[in-house]
């Protein structure tokens, strides 16, 4: 369609009142946006929009064109920029997103609002390295935020909490990379996302791999963000590939009792603990767990569930466990220990491929509970809810 605009006009004519999905994967789309201007006359039919570009400078006129639109049928928006804010700063001190005719338009601070005419049907928003948001957020149910590792955070802590308060209908929130800067962190005593049920944190690269911390200290980023959601009704939590430096502050928060998730029943966890006492503190911070997914790690957590003197009091409601590392003898020990504790498991999930040997352990497990062998699923880390 981009190469032959006449085809675009023909499609718009033949499709009549059908809803339109505008999916432009080409990062060079910014240079071709003028060819898509005819679509602006059909905004009442837009159902899905996916658009982005290489640079923030290229995106500026595109987002400006979207600024005052009213999209009555729009349900899903994906906006991306392959250039980080730091890269944009090198070329443009305003971050590449600013208005030449109004001080009010400030993309870098997140105050720029898109679709000011309203998006009453918007349910899903996926943005990468962009701070501009739709004006209407109260109907949004799924929000995916992505920022490149080592880039400047998208919003300040106060800006982010202000955004959360506008998300009255939000069910799922996913955050990848540095989303929030931690200047002026304040305690949140109320539930600022009343309908939130699923929360996902994923790290692409360990930004702290070259930093040194004093013993017992670490990166406070994740504990500060997790603390925002302790008073919510979140029932599913993903904590995937976090840096090891995030663990000491998280454990401190759990040890002091402030970092507890009373409603989480399904937990995907991607970091292990050096001491069994720490694993016990972690387990007690999630008292309602029913399904536990150990992602790429977890030998000390398993040892704690198997051997801890307080094993009978740990995770009484857990009926399903997933092991990325299918150690059959240890899996059998776990199942046996849960039976002895009076809280038997019903389902054991293990990641393919099946290990060789230990057939007697596998036979015992198959007779004791449901055993499922599952393939690696990249969607757990990067896919939508």
- State the pLDDT at residue 207: 67
Hey, what are 169's tokens? 């209908």
Hey, what are 155's tokens? 């919003």
Please list, in sequence order, all residues whose beta carbon lies within 8 angstroms of the beta carbon of residue 319, skipping any fewer than 6 positions away. Answer: 290, 291, 345, 346, 347
Residue 242 lies in a domain: no
Hey, what are 321's tokens? 């466990």
- State the pLDDT at residue 319: 98
Hey, what are 368's tokens? 């004791």
pLDDT, averaged across the chain: 86
- State the pLDDT at residue 177: 92
Range of the domain at 101: 1-140
Q: How much of the chain exceeds pLDDT 90, in percent?
A: 59
Residue 215 lies in a domain: no
pLDDT band for position 93 (50/70/90)?
A: very low
Longest dimension (CA), the chain: 75
Residue 213 lies in a domain: no
- For the chain, what is the domain count? 1
- State the pLDDT at residue 347: 99
Q: Which of 88-102, 183-197, 252-266 has the lowest mean pLDDT?
A: 88-102
Angle, alpha carbons 177-205-228 (nearest 5°) = 35
Residue 90 lies in a domain: yes
Residue 78 lies in a domain: yes
Q: How far is residue 317's CA from residue 289's CA, in Å, rounded to a whole number? A: 6
- State the pLDDT at residue 12: 85
Mapping DSSP to helix (H, G, I), strand (E, B) and coil, where does residue 205 land?
Answer: coil
What b-and-e string marks burial along 150-180, b requiring 16 or more CB atoms within 10 Å of the CB? ebbbbbbbebbbebbeebeebbbbbbbbbbb
What is the pLDDT averaged over residues 139-160? 93
- Per-residue model confidence as pLDDT tens digits over 259-285: 999 999 999 999 988 888 999 999 999
Q: How far is residue 87's CA from residue 95's CA, in Å, rounded to a whole number? A: 8
Residue 371 lies in a domain: no
- State the pLDDT at residue 27: 60
| Beta pairing partners, 196 | none
SS (H, E, C) 339-380: HHHCCCCCEEEEECCCCCCCHHHHHHHHHHCEEEEECCCCHH
Q: How far is residue 88's CA from residue 242's CA, in Å, rounded to a whole number? A: 27
- Per-residue model confidence as pLDDT tens digits over 53-76: 777 777 888 888 889 999 999 999
- Per-residue model confidence as pLDDT tens digits over 2-57: 667 788 888 888 888 899 998 876 666 556 667 677 888 899 999 999 988 777 77
Q: pTM for this structure? A: 0.90
What is the pLDDT averaged over residues 374-381? 92
Residue 238 lies in a domain: no
- Per-residue model confidence as pLDDT tens digits over 186-230: 666 667 899 999 999 998 876 666 677 777 788 899 999 999 999
Distance set, CA 149 to CA 152, 158, 176, 205 (Å): 9, 21, 9, 6
Q: How far is residue 163's CA from residue 175's CA, in Å, rounded to a whole number? A: 14
Hey, what are 75's tokens? 């349900």
- State the pLDDT at residue 381: 86
- Pick the closest to residue 290 from 346, 351, 229, 366 (CA basis): 346
Residue 72 lies in a domain: yes
């Amino acid at each position: 369609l981009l190469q032959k605009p006449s085809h675009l006009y023909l499609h718009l004519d033949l499709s009549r009142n059908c809803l339109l999905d505008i999916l432009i994967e080409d990062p060079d789309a910014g240079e071709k946006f003028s060819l898509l201007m005819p679509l602006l006359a059909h905004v009442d039919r837009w159902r899905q929009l996916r658009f982005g570009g290489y640079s923030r400078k290229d995106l500026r006129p595109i987002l400006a064109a979207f600024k005052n639109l009213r999209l009555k049928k729009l349900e899903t928006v994906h906006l991306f920029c392959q250039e980080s804010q730091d890269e944009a700063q090198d070329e443009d001190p305003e971050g590449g997103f600013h208005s030449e005719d109004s001080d009010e338009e400030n993309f870098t601070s997140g105050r720029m609002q898109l679709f000011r005419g309203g998006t009453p049907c918007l349910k899903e928003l996926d943005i990468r390295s962009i701070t501009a948001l739709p004006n209407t957020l109260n109907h949004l149910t799924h929000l995916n935020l992505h920022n490149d590792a080592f880039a400047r955070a998208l919003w300040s802590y106060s800006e982010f909490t202000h955004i959360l308060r506008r998300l009255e209908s939000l069910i799922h929130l996913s955050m990848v990379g540095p989303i929030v800067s931690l200047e002026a962190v304040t305690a949140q005593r109320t539930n600022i996302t009343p309908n939130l049920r699923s929360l996902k944190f994923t790290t692409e690269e360990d930004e702290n791999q070259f930093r040194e911390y004093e013993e017992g200290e670490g990166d406070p980023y994740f504990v500060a963000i997790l603390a925002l959601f302790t008073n919510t009704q979140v029932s599913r939590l993903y904590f995937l590939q976090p840096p090891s430096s995030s663990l000491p502050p998280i454990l401190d928060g759990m040890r002091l009792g402030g970092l507890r998730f009373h409603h989480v029943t399904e937990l995907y966890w991607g970091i292990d603990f050096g001491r069994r006492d720490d694993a016990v503190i972690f387990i007690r911070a999630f008292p309602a767990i029913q399904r536990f997914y150990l992602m790429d790690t977890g030998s000390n957590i398993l040892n704690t569930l198997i051997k801890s003197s307080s094993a009978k009091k740990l995770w009484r409601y857990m009926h399903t466990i997933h092991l990325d590392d299918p150690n059959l003898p240890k899996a059998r020990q776990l199942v046996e220990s849960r039976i002895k504790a009076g809280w038997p498991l019903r389902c054991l999930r293990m990641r393919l491929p099946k290990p060789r040997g230990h057939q007697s352990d596998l036979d015992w497990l198959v007779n004791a509970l449901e055993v499922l062998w599952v393939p690696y699923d990249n969607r757990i880390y990067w896919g939508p809810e």
